[in-house]
Amino acid sequence: MIDLAIIGGGPAGLTAGLYATRGGVKNVVLFEKGMPGGQITGSSEIENYPGVKEIKSGLDFMEPWQEQCFRFGLTHNLREVVRVSKCGNMFKVFCSDGTDYVAKSVILATGGRPKRTGIKGESEYWGKGVSTCATCDAFFHKGKEVAVLGGGDTALEEAIYLTKFASKVHLIHRRDGFRAAPITLEHAEKNEKINFMVPYVVEEICGDGKEVTSLKVKNIATNETSTLDTGVIFVFVGYEVNNGILVQEDKSMLCECDKWGSVVVDLDMNTSVPGLFAAGDLRVEAKKQVICAAGDGATAALSAIDYLETTHAAPYLEAEHKL
C-alpha cells in the first residue's frame, strides 16, 4: 500500500517527493524507469535558476536534486508505469512488467517533449544550437542572427521574444499562411527585426561537429536553395505531453484534459479526479521552465498531504478489499 505515488522523476516529481516526505507522508514512491532528472538533463547550459550562480549542464544541475529529494525517505521504483486507474477512493498503478500497486493518492509529473522535425543534423546538434526554449537560450545569442522554425502561436510569440536579444530573427515556415492568432501575426509583421521566410523549409542543420554554424534552406515555391548563416535554430513545431498512462481500458481518459491532451488542473494542482494531481509540463498552460515545474511539484505535494489527511484519516480496509 502506497500513500502517495509520484509518476515521473523530473523537477516536478522530485520536488513533490521532497515536500511530501518532509511533510510527513510515510510511504511515498517515485516511479521513474531511469535515473531521475527529467528532460532538463539534456540541456547544455542552465544559468537562470535562482540561487545557482554557476552555469551548469542540465545533468550537473540535476545531480544534487536526487540526493536532497531522497534524503527524507522517498523511494525510487525503477518500473515503468503504463496506466493509472481509480477504484473507489484508491488508485491502481499498473507497470509494464505486470506488477500492480495500490495507492491512496497520485501525482502525475510525466512531463512532455517538443516534437522533432527529423531534419538532417537535428539530432546531432540537439542542445548544441538546436533549441526549443527561447527563454532558456536567447541570452546566449545576444546581438546575433537567429532562426525560428514554425508557424503557430508559439513560434511567432517566441520569435517576437527573441527580438529583444537577437539582431535579426529569421522566421521559417513552409506555408504562406500561419496558424497563429491574427493579433499575434500582426505583432510579428510589425516587428522590423523579424524576417519572414515563406514558403521555406530547412533541408539541413549544418555544424562543425561541436555546434551549429549554418542552415541549408529551400524556397519550395521556386526550389531555390541557399545558406543561412546562424549559430542557432529554435524549433517550435509542436509539443507532446506524456499522458498515455491516463488512457483507460475503454479508451477514455482518467481525468479531464484539454484538446491538446494536457491535464486540466486548478491552482492547487487538483485534477477532475479527487486524489489525483498533476504538476509540471503535463498540466495545462505549463510554462515549461524548471522553476515552474518545481513550484508545481511543491504545490501538488501540499495538496496531496491535505487530501490524505482529510480523505484517508479513517480506515480504508474496505476499499482495499474491493481492489
Beta bridge partners of residue 91, listed in sequence order = 86, 103
Integer CA distances (angstroms), 122 to 35, 48, 289, in order: 25, 25, 22
ω into 114 cis (within 30 of 0) = no
Residues contacting 11, CB < 8 A, separation 6+: 38, 40, 62, 65, 280, 290, 293, 294, 297
Other residues' Cβ atoms within 10 Å of the Cβ of residue 247: 14
Helix (H, G, I), strand (E, B) or coil at 213: strand
Q: Please pick, among 95, 133, 153, 292, the residue that the annotation labels catalytic.
A: 133
Other residues' Cβ atoms within 10 Å of the Cβ of residue 230: 21
Q: What is the 3-state secondary structure (H, E, C) of 247-282?
A: ECCCCCECCCECCCCCECCCCCCECCCCCEEECHHH
Q: Please pick, among 69, 136, 206, 257, the residue that the annotation labels catalytic.
A: 136
Which residue in 288, 112, 119 sits closest to 212, CA to CA?
119
Q: What DSSP assignment string belongs to 93-143?
A: EEETTS-EEEEEEEEE---EEEPP---BTTTTTBTTTEES-HHHHGGGGTT
Q: In angstroms, rounded to a whole number, what is the distance separating the alpha carbons of residues 38 and 29?
A: 16
- Is 306 a known active-site residue? no
- Cα dihedral sign for 14, 41, 132, 120? negative
**43 and 136 Cβ atoms separated by less than 8 Å:** yes
Q: Please pick, among 60, 87, 100, 137, the residue that the annotation labels catalytic.
A: 137
- Is 206 a known active-site residue? no
For residue 262 the three cell numbers come to: 494536457
- Is 133 a known active-site residue? yes
Catalytic residues: 133, 136-137
